[in-house]
């Protein structure tokens, strides 16, 4: 399992090995012991699976606040997406900065998005499936969202002028300016 740090402390790009032949491939997409060997000790308690029929569907930037904050391990089950994490930990040296990675069925890459980061993605092809693990169950009373196109964050979604397909909630999300984050940087990841 290849585990790579990103410019945002705690956000990791994880690529499990694949074993293929004429029938297709096999990949072990999650292993608690292997991640623990790399210092990732998150225990996941919920799996989510989302299908986006049209392109470019954009979902995010979402988070769950403490005490129900979630770490997420995100991968693409089918199709292709651009996955983004934004640091929203007060006092963090990378506060408001983002990192994005192309996750596709072909590359098998996954993004580990720790609590304290807002998360979002945009689909690159129709019928894209996103599959992700969460370290806590869904708690709607703690959910929040930041505006996907906030100029203070400046995410390059690679839309090339296309208008994204958004939910009403995502289209009306708040900006980072004036946001009182429920997360605080602890001096490390």
| Residue 22: active-site member | no
| Residue 95: active-site member | no
CA distance 127 to 37: 35
- Whether residue 56 is preceded by a cis peptide bond, meaning omega within 30 degrees of 0, is yes
Q: Choosing from 22, 25, 119, 132, which is the catalytic residue?
A: 132
Secondary structure class of 120 (helix, strand, coil): strand
Q: Choosing from 25, 30, 62, 138, which is the catalytic residue?
A: 62
Instruction: Give 35-81 as a DSSP string.
Output: HHHTT------EEEEEEE-STTBEEEEEEE-TTS---EEEEEEESEE
Active site residues: 62, 132
């Amino acid at each position: 399992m290849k585990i790579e740090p990103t410019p945002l402390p705690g956000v990791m790009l994880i690529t499990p090995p694949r074993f293929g032949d004429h029938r297709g491939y096999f990949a072990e997409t999650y292993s608690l012991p292997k991640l623990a060997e790399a210092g990732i000790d998150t225990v996941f308690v919920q799996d989510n699976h989302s299908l986006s029929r049209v392109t470019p569907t954009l979902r995010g930037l979402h988070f769950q606040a403490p005490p129900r904050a979630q770490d997420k391990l995100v991968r693409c089950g089918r199709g292709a997406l651009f996955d983004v994490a934004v640091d929203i930990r007060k006092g963090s040296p990378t506060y408001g900065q983002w990192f994005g990675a192309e996750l596709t069925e072909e590359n098998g890459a996954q993004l580990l998005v720790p609590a304290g980061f807002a998360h979002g993605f945009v689909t690159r092809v129709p019928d894209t499936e996103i599959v992700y693990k969460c370290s806590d169950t869904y708690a709607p009373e703690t959910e929040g969202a930041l505006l996907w196109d906030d100029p203070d964050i400046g995410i390059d979604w690679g839309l090339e002028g296309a208008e994204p397909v958004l939910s009403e909630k995502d289209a009306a999300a708040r900006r980072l300016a004036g946001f009182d984050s429920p997360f605080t940087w602890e001096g490390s990841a």
